[in-house]
Chains A and B, each alone.
Chain A
Amino acid sequence: MTIDWLTVGAQALNFLVLVWLLKRFLYGRVVRAMDRREAAIAERIRAADARMVEAEAEARRHREAREGLEAQRERLLKRAREEADDLRRTLDDEVRGELAEARARWRAELEREQAVFLQDVRRQVATHFETLARRALAELADAELEAQMARVLIERLGRLDPERKDDLARRASGEPLLVRSAFELPVAVRRALTAAIHDAVGKEVAVTYERTDELACGLELRAGGQSLGWSLDGHLDALERRLAEGLARVAGGGRGDAHP
Chain B
Amino acid sequence: MRISPDQLVLWAWGPVQLNATIVCTWTVMLVLVLGSHLATRRLSTATRLTRWQNLLEVLVSGMREQIREVSQQDPGKYLPFVGTLFLFIAASNVLAVVPGFTAPTASLSTTTALALCVLVAVPLYGIVERGLGGYLAVYVKPTVFMLPFNILGELSRTLALAVRLYGNVMSGTVIAGILLSLVPFFFPVVLQLLGLLTGLIQAYIFAVLAMVYIASATRTHGGH
Contacts and interface: CB of A to CB of B under 8 A. Distances in A.
Given A6-B16, A33-B45, A22 B112 contact: no
Nearest to A23: B80
B101 interface: no
A12 B88 contact: no
Given A27-B60, A33-B44, A2 B108 contact: yes
A253 B88 CA distance: 126
A29 B43 contact: yes
Given A4-B6, A22-B36, A30-B60, A14 B26 contact: yes
Interface in B1-19: 3-4, 6-7, 15-17, 19
B46 to A, nearest CB: 7
A27 B81 CA distance: 11
A164 B183 CA distance: 183
Interface in A1-42: 1-12, 14-23, 25-27, 29-34, 36-37, 40-41
Chain B residues touching A, range: 35 or more
B113 A15 contact: yes
B60 A11 contact: no
B202 interface: no
B207 interface: no
Contacts of A30: 40, 43, 53, 56-57, 60
A4 B16 CA distance: 11
A2 B21 CA distance: 13
B6 A2 contact: yes
Nearest to B3: A1
Given A7-B22, A33-B45, A37-B45, A22 B33 contact: yes
B188 interface: no
B62 to A, nearest CB: 12
B104 interface: yes
Given A2-B6, A2-B108, A3-B108, A19 B21 contact: no
A15 to B, nearest CB: 6
B116 interface: yes
A157 to B, nearest CB: 140
A27 B32 CA distance: 12
A19 B44 contact: no
Given A3-B109, A7-B6, A36-B45, A18 B88 contact: yes
A61 to B, nearest CB: 33
Contacts of A4: 6, 17, 19, 109
B47 interface: yes
B15 A12 contact: no
A30 B59 CA distance: 10
A40 B46 CA distance: 8
Contact of B109 (A7, A23, A36): A7
B47 A37 contact: yes
Contacts of B56: 26, 30
B79 A11 contact: no
B25 interface: yes
Contacts of B43: 29-30, 32-33
A15 B33 CA distance: 12
A20 B83 CA distance: 12
Contacts of A32: 43
A26 B21 CA distance: 24
B109 A22 contact: no
Contacts of A33: 40, 43-45, 53, 57
B80 A15 contact: no
A107 B17 CA distance: 146
Interface string B67-108: 000000000100111011101100000000000000010011
A19 B114 contact: no
A18 B45 CA distance: 26
Contact of A15 (B7, B37, B60, B88): B88
B12 to A, nearest CB: 11
Given A8-B116, A11-B104, 5 more contacts: A22-B84, A26-B36, A26-B40, A29-B40, A31-B60
Interface of A: 1-12, 14-23, 25-27, 29-34, 36-37, 40-41
Instruction: Across the A-B interface, give the 9 residue pairs with the lowest CB-CB distance, nearest first.
Output: A11-B113, A7-B109, A26-B36, A23-B80, A33-B43, A29-B40, A12-B113, A36-B45, A25-B36
16 contacts: A1-B166, A2-B7, A4-B19, A4-B109, A8-B109, A8-B112, A11-B21, A12-B114, A12-B117, A21-B36, A26-B56, A27-B79, A31-B76, A37-B45, A37-B47, A40-B45
